[in-house]
Amino acid sequence: MSTETPQMCARLVSERYSVWHTLLSMNGWMSRVIKDGYTLQFASPPSPFNGLLETVMSSQAGAEALMTELSEILVKEAISRVPSGQECKGYYSRYFLVPKKTGGMRPILDPSLFNKSIMRRPFHMLTISHVLECVRSGDWFASIDLKDAYFHVPIVPRHRKFLRFSFRGVQFQYNRLPFGYSLAPRTFAKCVETALEPLRRRGIRVLFYLDDLVIMASSERSAALHTVELASHLTLLGFAINWRKSSPVPTQSIMYLGVYLDSSSMRARLSFARREALASFLSRVTPGKTVTALSVMRLLGMMSAGHVVVPLGLLHMRKLQRWFSRLRLDPIRQKMPPGNSALLRSVGSDLLGKPSSFVRGSSPGQGDVARIGLHRRITVRMGRNVSGSGHRRKMARASNPTHQFSGVVHGAEGAETLRFPAERTACVSEDRQQDGSRLHQPTGRRPLGPG
């Protein structure tokens, strides 16, 4: 195991190609990405030169913030000035900033039109359902956060001209994988997946969501050793670790992907920040108020993302989803309110009148909400497969978190939680993605009655 001190600046993985080639098993595409850089994956010929599209900020403060960010990523060599005489070639997109949850601003290239000429390559991202299925009673957790994740992956020189932008009369281009490019998440996820494979083969249980990794182990000592080994391995491959956002000290409770996990009580609940955000959106979608289509879509998205830690969570959004689907509105193109108070009132008080039912979960004793058995079969790609018997999920209260990521608000007293399965199991879940107004019914299970 390497004793190299984890770095603080993203290093091009191509600079460590010999290490990747020695330690990892890579297919031809991954080997080319690591060795030579990433080649943009076109589905159709790219658009010809579209002119120098100038980025204009709406305020002086925004312009200054953007200039600061550009200075920082210039130092990181993620972008560079367009070579003299080549300014009128390639493709220019707008450039803007979005706020980070932990403070500061994140630079985002907006190549939305350019992305239309890029292939559509779907891939599977880690879900909360998968995380819950991987947690075992008494597990210890630690987390590692990668710094400047996409900037580890270089773009081949001949394709950098398609990732250009102009600000204050100066033209820049991306030398490394930018936020905003449609296949950036898939590309980086493939790199991390390849990097973790040898550790998983040795039995180290590690999950990742892009740059956010979590280690699970049966003992505090194992979790500490695996965390050191993971950090050393990632550093050896050229990844930079953000220790400020990482939590390397083993603990039995952790905040991950917006969900608070507690392996000692085997319970999970939405984080305080996510509950507050959900409550805020619910307060807007109430009878007597008009609301934009985009707000309804965001609310449905938040409810769908959090349903896995709320018993029968999809049913809480069913009527709202049915109502919104019937409107056949495009939330991007139509900014007018999607309905009026009468329509919203018809959704029913079981959702809009009781937002706490989704924000806090359900209490014990509420019929099948507290007793329904959930079953899901899954192959856990963490070095070993998990098997066991069926299980039940129950609702119970949990104590305050003893460990949280940076930026997560403490003090979630009184929040209802969802109990993990007492034993690991290989099974199938009925809380799968909702399609239209229909709820997925597993084979051999009796359909749910009218809700």
Give the pLDDT score at 404: 36
The answer to which of 233-237, 260-264, 286-290 has the lowest mean pLDDT is 286-290
Local confidence band at 314 (pLDDT 50, 70, 90 cut-offs): confident
Does residue 313 register a pLDDT over 80? no
Buried b (16+ CB within 10 A) or exposed e, 435-446: eeeebeeeeeee
Does residue 311 register a pLDDT over 70? yes
Q: What's the whole-number mean pLDDT along residues 251-280? A: 90
Give the pLDDT score at 102: 64
Q: What's the whole-number mean pLDDT along residues 46-63? A: 84
Higher pLDDT, 438 or 421: 421
User: Residue written as tokens 């319970």?
Assistant: 267
Distance CA 191, CA 413 (A): 39
Residue-wise pLDDT tens digits, 174-200: 999 998 899 999 999 999 999 999 999
Q: Would you state the torsion angle of the CA atoms of residues 49, 52, 57, 58, taken in this order, to the nearest 10 degrees?
A: -90
Does residue 150 register a pLDDT over 60? yes
Give the pLDDT score at 423: 42
Distance CA 141, CA 251 (A): 5
Give the pLDDT score at 88: 93
For strand 212-217 and strand 54-55, is the pairing parallel, antiparallel, or unpaired? unpaired
128: its two tokens: 């909360």
Nearest residue to 377 (alpha-carbon basis) of 123, 193, 207, 130: 130
Does residue 289 register a pLDDT over 80? no
Q: What is the mean pLDDT of the chain?
A: 75
Residue-wise pLDDT tens digits, 315-363: 778 888 888 888 776 655 544 444 433 344 444 444 454 555 555 433 2
Does residue 385 register a pLDDT over 90? no
Local confidence band at 302 (pLDDT 50, 70, 90 cut-offs): confident
Give the pLDDT score at 145: 97
Local confidence band at 62 (pLDDT 50, 70, 90 cut-offs): confident
Q: What's the whole-number mean pLDDT along residues 154-174? A: 95
Give the pLDDT score at 17: 95
Does residue 117 register a pLDDT over 60? yes
Residue-wise pLDDT tens digits, 12-33: 899 999 999 999 999 999 999 9
Helices (H), 56-103: 60-75
Does residue 412 register a pLDDT over 60? no
Domain ranges of the chain: 13-236, 267-451
Q: Environment class of residue 123 by beta-carbon count within 10 Å: exposed (0-12), middle (13-18) or buried (19+)?
A: exposed
Q: What are phi and psi of 80, to 5 degrees?
A: -150, 165
Does residue 392 register a pLDDT over 50? no
Give the pLDDT score at 146: 96
3-state secondary structure of 332: coil
Local confidence band at 40 (pLDDT 50, 70, 90 cut-offs): very high
Nearest residue to 421 (alpha-carbon basis) of 376, 387, 378, 391: 391
Give the pLDDT score at 274: 87
Distance CA 167, CA 69 (A): 12
Task: Name the strands in the sheet holding 164-167, side by side, starting at the edge strand that comes first in the sequence.
Answer: 54-55, 164-167, 170-174, 79-81
Residue-wise pLDDT tens digits, 393-404: 333 333 343 333
pTM over 0.75: no
Q: What's the whole-number mean pLDDT along residues 226-242? A: 96
Specify the DSSP class assigned to residue 211.
Answer: T
Local confidence band at 246 (pLDDT 50, 70, 90 cut-offs): very high
Residues in Cβ contact with 156 at an 8 Å cutoff, skipping those fewer than 6 apart: 36, 37, 38, 39
Residue-wise pLDDT tens digits, 136-149: 999 999 999 999 99
Cβ atoms of residues 198 and 188 within 8 Å: no
Q: What's the whole-number mean pLDDT along residues 204-208? A: 97
Give the pLDDT score at 79: 95
Give the pLDDT score at 206: 97
Residue-wise pLDDT tens digits, 1-16: 443 444 556 678 999 9
CATH dotted code for 13-236: 3.10.10.10
